[in-house]
Structure 1
């Protein structure tokens, strides 16, 4: 059986925090690979300067380029629409029945796991892997979660977007190829920050 980690999210944009989480979980659990899987439709209200699904997938591709054992997954974007994790995992297991999936979540998600759609059935499809995020408890859960200690970094895509829009530097916070792509596409109001980020 192959052991594959899944790290979902909007990745709007992806940053080094995502890569640290994926790599640390891969190393600690001895996974064959970790896939970064952008959602098709972000849950937040869409901003005109936000990235499209295709742009978010491309940024993930650029972020993991050359990273051993990390790769992008277009699975949810290809399916389209808003999908529950249970629906995604059921479809993935149909395609890859011989794969053990490890679904990576932050402490903020662990806190609300019992509210997830079809959580009991979902637990039969995946092993939940919990990583700490600043500002969340994430240690007590009635749902089985395998906790992994990782270097803590208080970084979010929201912060990256705000800094980009304000013309502030995001160097070292986002992989260089992703920064170049953000500038090239004029994402997050980056047209005013081309020379400073």
Structure 2
């Protein structure tokens, strides 16, 4: 049976922290691949980034193209409404019954798991992988596989804010993503 890691998010924009987490979990758990799962409308946050779905996918393609075990899964973008992990993973298990899925979340989401939609059913259809994040502890009553990754205090919001302030994002995102953002004039105030 294949072991696939799922890294969900808005990826608005994707950054080096996403890539670092994906690669560290891939290696630590000896997974076959990591699938990046951009969501349509995360139920726990408002849509505030600004890039279109097409731009987010293109940036993810640019960010991940150099890694043979990284893939993009567009399932959540093809559905409307909130992107509930339970609904997505139920569908993915039906579509790919030969795969064991490992859903990667940051420590901020580990603390929030008790509030996830249908969490009691969800933990039966996917394994959760928690990665450390500054200022959060990985404490929960739910089964979590913990993976320690080098801390990188970068977020998509930080990048968007820096761009609005005309500050550099060099080394926070892959160079190809930075060039795409500049070319398309994304996140400008």
**The TM-score by the shorter chain falls in which range?**
over 0.9
The Cα offsets for residues 53-82 of structure 1, whole Å up to 9 and x where unpaired, read as 121111111100111311211111112321
Alignment match, 2:152: 153
- CA distance in 2: counterparts of 1:185 and 1:82, whole angstroms: 27
Query: Partners in 1 of 2:149 and 2:112 — Cα distance?
Result: 21
Match of 2:12 in 1: 12
Unaligned residue ranges in structure 1 (runs of 5+): 191-197
Please state how far the C-alpha of 1:176 moved relative to its aligned partner. 0.9
1:60 to 2:60 alignment: yes
Larger relative contact order (Cα-Cα within 8 Å, sequence gap ≥ 6): 2
Match of 1:99 in 2: 99
Whole-angstrom CA distance in 2 between matches of 1:19 and 1:46: 22
Query: Larger deviation: 60-69 or 73-82?
Result: 73-82
Partner SS state of residue 137, structure 1: coil
Gaps of 5+ in 2: none
User: Residues of 2 paired with 1:107 and 1:137: CA distance?
Assistant: 6
Report what 2:130 is aligned to.
130
Which moved further from structure 2: 146-155 or 79-88? 79-88
CA distance in 2, matches of 1:80, 1:184: 29
CA distance in 1 between partners of 2:117 and 2:154 (Å): 27
For residues 88-130 of structure 1, give each alpha carbon's deviation from its aligned partner in whole angstroms, at most 9, with x where no partner exists. Answer: 0001111001100000000000001111111111011100000
Q: Deviations over 1:20-50 (max 9, x none)?
A: 0000000010000001111112532436xx1
Decide whether the 8 Å contact of 2:41 with 2:47 is kept in 1: no
User: In structure 2, what is the Cα distance between the partners aligned to 1:83 and 1:15?
Assistant: 21
1:194 counterpart residue number: none
Counterpart residue number, 1:86: 86
Q: Output the aligned Cα RMSD.
A: 1.3
Match of 2:48 in 1: 46
Give the number of aligned pairs: 187
- Separation in structure 2 between the aligned mates of residue 188 and residue 106 of structure 1, nearest angstrom: 24
Q: Secondary structure at the match of 2:8?
A: strand
Q: Secondary structure of 2:187's partner?
A: helix
